[in-house]
Amino acid sequence: MDEAGCGGCQVISAEQRSSKHWELTGEGCEIAEQGSHEARVFSSIPDEGMPQGQLMKLAFGKVGFSKAMSNKWIRLDKGHEGGPRVFRTVENIEDSVRDKLLVVQKGQSSQLEEKEKSELKKRKLLSEVTVKSYWITKGSLFSTTITKQETELTPEMIASGSWKEKKFKPYNFEAMGVAPDCGHLHPLMKVRTQFRQIFLEMGFTEMPTNNFIESSFWNFDSLFQPQQHPARDQHDTFFLSDPAQAHEFPLDYLERVRKVHSEGGFGSQGYKYDWKIEEAQKNILRTHTTAVSARMLYKLAQKEKFTPVKYFSIDRVFRNETLDATHLAEFHQIEGVVADYGLTLGDLMGILHQFFTKLGITKLRFKPAYNPYTEPSMEVFSYHEGLKKWVEVGNSGVFRPEMLLPMGLPEGVTVIAWGLSLERPTMIKYGINNIRELVGHKVNLQMVYDSPVCRLDA
Amino acid sequence: MPTVSVKRDLLFHALGRTYSKKCYVFVYKCACSKHPFSNPVIQTSEKDIISREQGDTKAEGASDVILYKIDVPANRYDLLCLEGLVRGLQVFKEKMEAPRYRRVSPTSGEPQRLVITEETAAVRPHAVAAVLRNITFTQERYDSFIELQEKLHQNVCRKRTLVAIGTHDLDTISGPFTYTAKPPDDIRFTPLNQAQEYTATELMNLYKTDSHLRHYLHIIEDKPVYPVIYDSNGIVLSMPPIINGDHSKISLNTKNVFIECTATDLTKAKIVLDMMVTMFCEYCEEPFTKETLSGDFINRKVGISESTERIAQLLTKMCLRSEVMSDGEQIEVEIPPTRSDVIHACDIMEDAAMAYGFNNIIRTTPRTYTVANQLPLNKLTELLRQDLAAAGFTEALTFALCSQEDIADKLLKNISDTRACHIANPKTAEFQVARTTLLPGLLKTLAANRKMPLPLRLFEISDVVLKDETKDVGAKNNRRLCAVYYNKSPGFEVIHGLMDRVMQLLEVKPGRDEGYHIQAAQDSSFFPGRCAEIFAHGKSIGRLGVLHPDVISRFELTMPCSALDIDIEPFL
């Protein structure tokens, strides 16, 4: 039921009805009256036949001729003296086309089969007509006087009180509203804000990661990452040509790092290779924010008395890797670090459990992994309900003594840490498969405009 | 993480039993210890692999024997072949004792000798060698032997740069052997699988088109002398790290194998030789190293409380034979030569934790009490971002790396005036420099979104990188706020209004000295007469204005555009 007068005012109500019936076309009417073209051709031909040329001159000649031929009512003698001549081949004919049309004309189209009707429709003799009609009845607010409906409330109506007498045009609540004229935050940055919030809630202090360019020393050597490690390859790391080298290091610490790599010490055999300062001096775009963690832990170790710390950072890191749908040359690394006396592997797993619970992830598993600066090293997996499998969500580990002791941290202090990328959870959260649709200048701004608020635990 | 592929049936044969379909999860669980989930072990066949990589037609006729592909941690070279994997599994299941290796002198006469000459110092200074005696190869063992060699080459040997392995049939050559280096034209021999002799120079040309060997040529190509190993009769064994001689090649019938490892890193050479020998040997030259540690150390670090005996048992399962010492506290752990990854007590601790099972460790909460602090710069950034979005501007997120053209030519600037940091090894032009301004990223975002309804209002608050002599690395980040307005009219007043709003947010009032003001400035990126410099507290903090038409067209834009670019660090 539609409500007439649009919307809900119900002066009258109207029901739409539609019906279909068959009607003769102009040509159909002519045939009903005078017979089909082929019948008219037949009857025009006398017993002695008729020259084809003459037949074709008749109005119905062309169409009638071919139909009559295919009905085998007539024949054409091409070799006849004086030109091609047409003769009758049968005595009587039955003009079924006309008969059928007459049936329709009488309003008895239902007697014909659908196939016959569509055949006639194809010959443009019949057409199907749909008639729409409305069945009108009085509505609930039926009135015989007409009042003009107001579209909107105006200040004048409020002042005069005239709104009380007015009728207002109803709103169409099916339509969308007008989008507010406002700016939008980028979805990846919204997720970053949430991760920051989580760390702050857990009592972690933010590290100063605003130094994209780092020396190999802080990025690798201080982390006990040997100088021939594949990560230090041209294929994996962006090296700088200008400024190519770092020139200031805490020299006594640098010496302890050289020694632990090349000769061992602090309970370690070391890697036993020829450690070169030239390698350590090479400037790079940092490959992980752990370079900053190393600087912070070194700074912590220089304090007179050790105080426990919890640090975090979320910032860009750079890899000279092969790019694909999920890898870019730069991405954001999320990192958490805790330094205190007597921390255990169980503590690391416990704190990861708390951290991931805040992200709405409660099922965690840990898998052994290898990382040059943590021992043990564990990959963190979480069970993804949507994908129905365990997916890697981060990396974690306990910093090696060969990294911590040369810095000057007390022997009993353990440092646990974990890291993950910001992009990956964001892509999973927003259902984005190609990282280029999320990060960089090629993103579709509509995606930014349309992105919802970020609640990681929801 | 390297992947090892082994034939399933061979693995079962070596393990002495077959397993149900689920077994490969179990196999891995034992091999690299606890991992009862995901599927690091993939069941496949050669046929599958070829058909996936090269299409079904190429795969016809390939073997459909079932293979297991197993992920192995990058520092566990001892698990890179079937032999090592099986040994690890059997010991973990306590079906076999952790092996002990010992060196044996040949029954007749002296050990073989490899003499290293001084000339090698210029190109590849180290070499170590060993002999495997009375070995019986089958086709599978032989394949595994070759595969281990290849895996080691790709991993610990760093694509032969650090170490290159050569294996020879000892019965076709006679020691002592000489490792020396000679000018390329003085080296002449028949290389592996070739019918005629070549000089080293000719060989380097020959292999330039070899899909496998050409990747190694660069290691010695530009050196004045090439490394070469001769036997006492002057027969060339190999020209490391490129190719072996054909004369001494090993076959299924080889009984005694001479293994040489030449290297630029002696420690790695020893690791590699140990791996080759221990995986295929009855004989080995390396003595054990022993470590002592206390059970308490393991308990404290892992966060468990197991008896000393139990911990010794856990370690033994991981191929680290361990015994509780007489005081009942200390554990003596034997580190076999296969476990070159063990260099500190913490490495042993990890093995104990793995054998215990990471997921069996009770998760605890550290009692570390700390108060959280935000980095002031990031706090300010977060606050400003919210208010810029409220002011109608949408946040963009653009790359920190870009091309020289983006920060110079396209902005009508000279690259030498930019204080840009240059990348030495970019794979494409997109990564030539670190950005010195956020503007190109925003303009490229506009260009990619030209179909969106106008006006477009974008902002970004992020870091640029500038050279700075006063920093230890010679460069520093600088936090910038950049905004653009793109419409049919330039909208200088819009971007000016945004700047006024930012100052309001930062509690800086209009005014000459303590406040902020703008004054006309010259900047090649902007339309002449339409650019102003912004001063706050008497210092220049950035610019605003209508962009130069050439800048607009170089970024493939068609409409007028105004921009704001300021440093927010002075407001901390």
- The 10s digit of each residue's pLDDT in B373-417 is 999 999 999 999 999 999 999 999 999 999 999 999 999 999 999
Backbone angles phi, psi at B296, to 5 degrees: -60, -40
Shortest Cα distance, chain B CAs vs residue A208, angstroms? 7
User: Is B162 within 8 Å of A214 when comparing Cβ atoms?
Assistant: no
Q: Which amino acid is at A136?
A: I
A358 to each of A186, A315, B483, how far by Cα in Å? 22, 20, 34
Strand bridging mode A2-3 / A12-24:
antiparallel
Predicted local distance difference test score (pLDDT) of residue B31: 43
* Mean predicted confidence (pLDDT) in A413-440: 90
Q: Quick one: which of B122, B120, B248 has its CA closest to B178?
A: B120
Structure tokens at A230: 């594949």
B421 touches chain A (CB under 8 A): yes
Structure tokens at A311: 């640090």
B170 touches chain A (CB under 8 A): no
User: Is B385 within 8 Å of A189 when comparing Cβ atoms?
Assistant: yes
Alpha-helix residue ranges (DSSP H) falling in A85-237: 96-105, 114-122, 155-160, 187-201, 216-219
- Residue to mutate among B473, B487, B555, with most A CBs inside 10 A, is B473
* ipTM entry: 0.70
Task: Identify whether the C-beta of residue A81 lies closer than 8 Å to the C-beta of residue A105.
Answer: no
User: Is B377 within 8 Å of A246 when comparing Cβ atoms?
Assistant: no
User: How does DSSP classify residue A170?
Assistant: P
- Residue to mutate among B317, B393, B397, with most A CBs inside 10 A, is B397
User: How does DSSP classify residue B37?
Assistant: S
Nearest to B391 among A183, A245, A442 (CB): A183
User: Is A283 within 8 Å of B474 when comparing Cβ atoms?
Assistant: yes
B32 touches chain A (CB under 8 A): yes
CA gap A355, A372 in Å, rounded: 24
Q: Quick one: which of A426, A127, A210, A163 has its CA closest to B479?
A: A210
B477 touches chain A (CB under 8 A): yes
Predicted local distance difference test score (pLDDT) of residue A2: 41
Whether the link from the prior residue into B455 is cis, omega within 30° of 0, is yes
Shortest Cα distance, chain A CAs vs residue B263, angstroms? 12
Residues on chain A touching B419 (C-beta within 8 angstroms) = none
User: Is B343 within 8 Å of A268 when comparing Cβ atoms?
Assistant: yes
* Mean predicted confidence (pLDDT) in A430-439: 88
User: How does DSSP classify residue A42?
Assistant: H
Q: Which amino acid is at A284?
A: I
Higher pLDDT, A42 or B481: B481
Predicted local distance difference test score (pLDDT) of residue B33: 40
User: Is A202 within 8 Å of B372 when comparing Cβ atoms?
Assistant: yes
CA gap B227, B182 in Å, rounded: 7
> Which residues are registered as beta bridge partners of B520?
B532
Whether the link from the prior residue into A243 is cis, omega within 30° of 0, is yes
Higher pLDDT, B69 or A124: A124
Assign domain A20-127 to its CATH architecture: Orthogonal Bundle (1.10)
**A187-213+259-272+285-454 has the same fold as A20-127:** no
Residues on chain A touching B37 (C-beta within 8 angstroms) = 365, 367, 381, 390
pTM to 2 decimal places: 0.69
| pLDDT tens by residue, B277-313 | 777 653 333 445 667 788 888 888 898 988 888 999 8
Q: Which residues contact A404 (CB under 8 A, 6 or more apart)?
A: A297, A301, A413, A415
* Mean predicted confidence (pLDDT) in A199-227: 96
Query: Which residue in chain A is spatially nearest to B465 when comparing CA positions?
Result: A212
Nearest to B377 among A210, A238, A377 (CB): A210
- The distance of Cα B205 from the centroid of its chain, to the nearest Å, equals 31
CA gap B46, B68 in Å, rounded: 10
User: How does DSSP classify residue B245?
Assistant: B
Nearest to A365 among B300, B359, B479 (CB): B359
What parts of chain B have a pLDDT lower than 70?
A: 1-2, 16-64, 95-110, 280-290, 337
Conformational region of residue A114, where left means phi above 0, alpha means psi within -120 to 50, and beta covers everything else: alpha
User: Is A389 within 8 Å of B361 when comparing Cβ atoms?
Assistant: no
User: Is A238 within 8 Å of B396 when comparing Cβ atoms?
Assistant: no
Residue A208 confidence (pLDDT) above 90:
yes
Residues on chain B touching A193 (C-beta within 8 angstroms) = 382
The CB-side HSE value for A396 (13 A sphere, CA atoms) comes to 31
Shortest Cα distance, chain A CAs vs residue B251, angstroms? 33
Higher pLDDT, A259 or A105: A259
CA gap B538, B534 in Å, rounded: 9
| pLDDT tens by residue, A259-294 | 999 998 898 888 888 999 999 999 999 999 999 999
Structure tokens at B152: 């080691």
CATH code for the domain defined by A187-213+259-272+285-454: 3.30.930.10
A340 to each of A293, A377, A398, B94, B290, how far by Cα in Å? 14, 18, 12, 37, 30
User: Is B430 within 8 Å of A389 when comparing Cβ atoms?
Assistant: no
Predicted local distance difference test score (pLDDT) of residue A56: 82
Residues on chain B touching A345 (C-beta within 8 angstroms) = 301-303, 353, 358, 361
Query: Which residue in chain B is spatially nearest to A346 when comparing CA positions?
Result: B363
A373 to each of A313, A403, B71, how far by Cα in Å? 18, 7, 20
Strand bridging mode B433-434 / B561-567:
unpaired
Helix H or strand E segment including B332: strand B330-335
Alpha-helix residue ranges (DSSP H) falling in B318-426: 345-356, 376-390, 404-407
Task: Identify whether the C-beta of residue A407 lies closer than 8 Å to the C-beta of residue A370.
Answer: no
Q: Which amino acid is at B494?
A: V
Strand bridging mode B456-467 / B394-395:
parallel
B398 touches chain A (CB under 8 A): yes
User: Is B423 within 8 Å of A240 when comparing Cβ atoms?
Assistant: yes
For chain A, which residues make up each domain, given as ranges?
Answer: 20-127, 187-213+259-272+285-454
B347 touches chain A (CB under 8 A): yes
Predicted local distance difference test score (pLDDT) of residue A159: 94
- Residue to mutate among B33, B42, B368, B450, with most A CBs inside 10 A, is B368
Q: Quick one: which of B510, B491, B501, B489 has its CA closest to B566?
A: B501
> Which residues are registered as beta bridge partners of B344?
A268
B75 touches chain A (CB under 8 A): yes
Helix H or strand E segment including B181: strand B177-182
Burial class of residue B251 (count of CB atoms within 10 Å of its CB; 0-12, 13-18, 19+): exposed
Nearest to A183 among B33, B394, B398 (CB): B394
- The distance of Cα A417 from the centroid of its chain, to the nearest Å, equals 34
Residues on chain B touching A336 (C-beta within 8 angstroms) = none
Nearest to B472 among A182, A234, A248 (CB): A248
| pLDDT tens by residue, A350-364 | 999 999 999 888 888
Query: Which residue in chain B is spatially nearest to A442 when comparing CA positions?
Result: B448
Helix H or strand E segment including A280: helix A277-281
User: Is A240 within 8 Å of B424 when comparing Cβ atoms?
Assistant: yes
* Residue located via tokens 């060699």: B149
E-strand ranges in B8-48 read 41-45
Shortest Cα distance, chain B CAs vs residue A331, angstroms? 9
